[in-house]
Structure 1
Amino acid sequence: MNEFKNAKEEYDNTPIPAELSERVQAGIQEGKARYRARRGRTIRRWASAAACFCAVLAGLNLSPTIAKAAAEVPVLGGLFQVLTFVDYDKTEDGIHYDVTVPQVESESELAEKVNAVIQEKVDAHLAKAQQDWDDYREAFFATGGTEEEWADREMDVIVDYEIKSQSESRVSFVVTFAEGWVSSMEERYYYNLDLSEDRDLTLRDCLGENWVETCNAAIERQIAESVDEEGFTFFFAPEEGGFTTVDETTGFYVREDGTVVVCFPEYSIAAGAAGIPEFPIN
């Protein structure tokens, strides 16, 4: 008990830089602007936002009426469509939800599998964000925070997607999950689909038999080019957990010009300031 009391006193007496609040708020606003700037798609927003909010938290089990409204917003043609299945923007109990969820509409098992995986990830992301917020609130009040101070807190929970390229039978898109408040987290999942053959596309499909060597050479070159004149780079050395090689689990997407872009999770091969590292394979 004394240890907790001492820790609390130390916490309460820690001086807070005057500019800290401004920096935190500036970071939050910058993050919001960055995500919303990427959303340059035509999206129909439907009514009953409160009902949609309940549906999102219940696992995106939308009513047939709302699902039909979403299905009237085709993005792609050919053998399939990628639709905005859920589009929701609301603040509730200090959490700002900015949720846009895609759905692949096609008569294929692949589309069903991808949709199920995406919904599972959305459900998990929303549940984790709520738990993180609840844990933070509990710790905040346990360490002497007041209701007035808590009222100034807000958490951003974001789900978004971006179509990178498309053809009559193929699509490459990215789904982003982000959480921003005291700290920030962003994860991306990459979907490269061939609906005519009902299968996922691989780096081998896009780059040929020597895809490992091709990717490694391009990535190593770009990491070397990132070193400044003083020898600094955000990327870790291989022996410190940095890049060594691509494999079958490496994420990627395909741009409209056909360029393959290999991607790595945040913090995996570089410092957090590097964001999510992306490497065009030229």
Structure 2
Amino acid sequence: MKTMQYTTKWTKTLAVAGLAGILMVSASGLSSAHAQVQSASGNGQITAPVLATKMVTSKKLHSSEKWLKADVTIPVFQGLADTKYQDQLNDIIESHASKDLAKWEKAAAEAATSAKKNGYTMHPYQLLIQYELTSDGSDNGLVSLKITTEGTRMNNPETLVDTYNFTNEAEAKRVALEDLFGSKYPSILDAHIKSAIAADQELYFKGEDGFQGVHPEQSFYVKDGHAYIVFQKYSIAPGSTGTPEFAVKLPDQKDVHRAVQAIIPSSKHYIGKDGKLMVPLASVLRQMNFDVTWNGKSKTADITKGALWSSISLNKDSYSLGKNAPRKLGAVPEMKNGYVYVPLEFLSDILNLKVIQDKQGQITISNAEN
């Protein structure tokens, strides 16, 4: 190994799946810090792990296939504030492990049949599934889980890492990289990861096969004040490198999630030709940490912030957010003095921003949760 969020509300919807600081790279296929569990007898017996908290117990899944040596230990959450989410999460984790177990049982049985038929020695396949509860919720309610699945056939290990990050609240919410590092998370993390790869370039693929940047659904887990960005085996490096992990120190969440506002003085907005109040697009959204890109040829503007995406077209009453169906707002974007203006409803109804106008006509734009 080479050395190289959370005082505000999380905003992601419930789902299953981390700036400056120290960056470490781990190229091992399995973490050495997985929770150890007591042995269990009988299929599906639940026992308390030695190193896990009361939030999690362990469940062993067993195999009757003689040509598969299976050691499968999965976590079972208990006592979460959102019991519905807890049940769903436990079902998902067990379902994934059961499918992996069945897949390897089938593969081992077929290989044994082929070995007998062709007269060669059959060596049992192996399947190891382990977990680590890397954050138990004591750090401002963030729960982070890492599950590693490693199967081996003919001395050829296959490794997969699954991660789950959520808040332990009455309504559990997914925690994403944007929540931890802010809307600029791709550039922040990409810079750290590229620097680490450059220091050990021989361990990684180059060019188009190599690292191309983090994405909204990037796997990660949180542990000891760091977010570990996880890449699957063979995704950015040869198999000998294992499953690369890049640890990046978490920033102060007060800085990441501080209130962001945009002010529009009464002199900067007007009533448009369709009778709607029109506001300047780029200057407002850039104050809100959105990226706004204008395409003069197509007369369109692309609007992005983290995983959020929208687009508007000049003189076209059609507004959408992500993959949602376009909506009409009763007014089209207009060009005035070289600047694009949109109806105020685009900010409130499409981008879901909070809009307040005072008696003097000044408009304040902020995030809806502020």
Same fold judged by TM-score > 0.5?
Answer: yes
Name the SS for the 1:83 alignment partner. strand
Q: Do 1:89 and 1:96's aligned partners in 2 also have CA atoms closer than 8 Å?
A: no
Larger Rg: 2
Kindly indicate which of the two structures has a greater share of residues assigned to strand: 2
Structure 2, unmatched stretches of 5+, are 1-28, 250-370
- String of CA shifts for 1:168-187, please: whole Å, max 9, x gaps: 32221101111113021111
Q: 1:79-98 to 2 correspondence within 5 Å?
A: 81-84=55-58, 86-87=59-60, 93-98=66-71
Deviation at 1:156, TM superposition (A): 1.3
Provide the rounded CA distance (Å) in 1 between the counterparts of 2:116 and 2:62.
Answer: 28
Q: In the alignment, which residue of structure 2 is the partner of 1:262?
A: 229
Q: In the alignment, which residue of structure 2 is the partner of 1:134?
A: 109
Provide the rounded CA distance (Å) in 1 between the counterparts of 2:110 and 2:65.
Answer: 17
Q: In the alignment, which residue of structure 2 is the partner of 1:198?
A: 172
Q: In the alignment, which residue of structure 2 is the partner of 1:154?
A: 124
Deviation at 1:73, TM superposition (A): 7.5
- String of CA shifts for 1:75-100, please: whole Å, max 9, x gaps: 335xxx1221x136788513211111
Q: Percent identity?
A: 23
Deviation at 1:37, TM superposition (A): 5.4
Name the SS for the 1:44 alignment partner. coil
Name the SS for the 2:205 alignment partner. coil
Distance 1:137 1:36, change over 3 A: farther
2:137 corresponds to 1:167: yes
Residue type at the aligned position of 2:205: F
Q: Do 1:176 and 1:187's aligned partners in 2 also have CA atoms closer than 8 Å?
A: yes
Residue type at the aligned position of 2:87: E
Q: Do 2:73 and 2:131's aligned partners in 1 also have CA atoms closer than 8 Å?
A: yes
How many residue pairs match? The answer is: 215
Q: In the alignment, which residue of structure 2 is the partner of 1:7?
A: none
Higher relative contact order (CA 8 A, sep 6+): 2
Residue type at the aligned position of 1:193: F
The TM-score, its normalising length taken from structure 2, stands at 0.53
- String of CA shifts for 1:82-135, please: whole Å, max 9, x gaps: 221x13678851321111110112241322222121111111101110111122
Provide the rounded CA distance (Å) in 1 between the counterparts of 2:95 and 2:49.
Answer: 23
Q: In the alignment, which residue of structure 2 is the partner of 1:144?
A: 119
Distance 1:74 1:140, change over 3 A: closer
The TM-score, its normalising length taken from structure 1, stands at 0.69
Q: In the alignment, which residue of structure 1 is the partner of 2:207?
A: 238
Name the SS for the 1:165 alignment partner. strand
- String of CA shifts for 1:169-223, please: whole Å, max 9, x gaps: 2221101111113021111100112112511111011111211111111111111
Provide the rounded CA distance (Å) in 1 between the counterparts of 2:185 and 2:246.
Answer: 14
Deviation at 1:74, TM superposition (A): 8.9
Kindly indicate which of the two structures has a greater share of residues assigned to helix: 1
Provide the rounded CA distance (Å) in 2 between the counterparts of 1:208 and 1:224.
Answer: 25
Residue type at the aligned position of 1:280: A
- String of CA shifts for 1:11-52, please: whole Å, max 9, x gaps: xxxxxxxxxxxxxxxxxxxxxxx96954453x3334xx3x31
- The equivalent position to 1:249 in structure 2, one of 198, 217, 235, is 217
2:89 corresponds to 1:114: yes
Name the SS for the 1:199 alignment partner. coil
Q: 1:54-69 to 2 correspondence within 5 Å?
A: 62=44, 66-67=45-46
Provide the rounded CA distance (Å) in 1 between the counterparts of 2:31 and 2:231.
Answer: 22
